[in-house]
Amino acid sequence: MFSDQYEVGAGYEANVDCVSNLNSKSFLPNIDFTYYPNPSKGFVAITSKTEIKEIFVYNPQGRLLYQKAVNSLDTKVDMASFANGTYFFKLKFNEKEANFKIVKL
C-alpha cells in the first residue's frame, strides 16, 4: 500500500514514539526580546532581557549592510538611509542568536 492525497482508506498502521526533549539538561530557554516599529520609516528599537552582544542587518540578497557591537539590553538601529524594502536582523547574545525581519517604508 501507499499513501497519497487522493484516496482515504483503512489498512494503515503507524508506530509513534514520544521523546521528551524539553526534559534535557542541555535545553536553554528562548531569548526574550522585543523590537518596534515594524514596518519602520527610520529607527528600529530593540529591547532585551538578555544582553545583546552584536547586531547585523542584511538585505534580501544576503549582503551585510550594518554591523554593530552593542553589549547592552537596548539599542536603536537607524534605517533612514536604507531603501524601502525588507531587511533581516540577526541579534547575537552569548551563545544564542535570534533573527527577525523589518519592513522599511
Which domains occur in the chain, in start order?
Answer: 31-104 (2.60.40.1220)
Query: Would you state the cell numbers that stand for residue 22, as one nine-digit string?
Result: 524539553
Please tell me the predicted confidence (pLDDT) of residue 87. Answer: 97
Is 104 within 8 Å of 41 (Cβ atoms)?
yes
The model's pLDDT over 15-50, given as tens digits with 9 standing for 90+, comes to 655 555 555 555 556 789 999 999 999 999 999 999
Confidence at residue 94, expressed as pLDDT on a 0 to 100 scale? 87
Per-residue pLDDT at 85 exceeds 90: yes
Percent pLDDT > 70 in the chain is 72
Would the pLDDT of 7 be above 80?
Answer: no
Cβ neighbours of residue 82 closer than 8 Å, sequence gap 6 or more: 65, 104
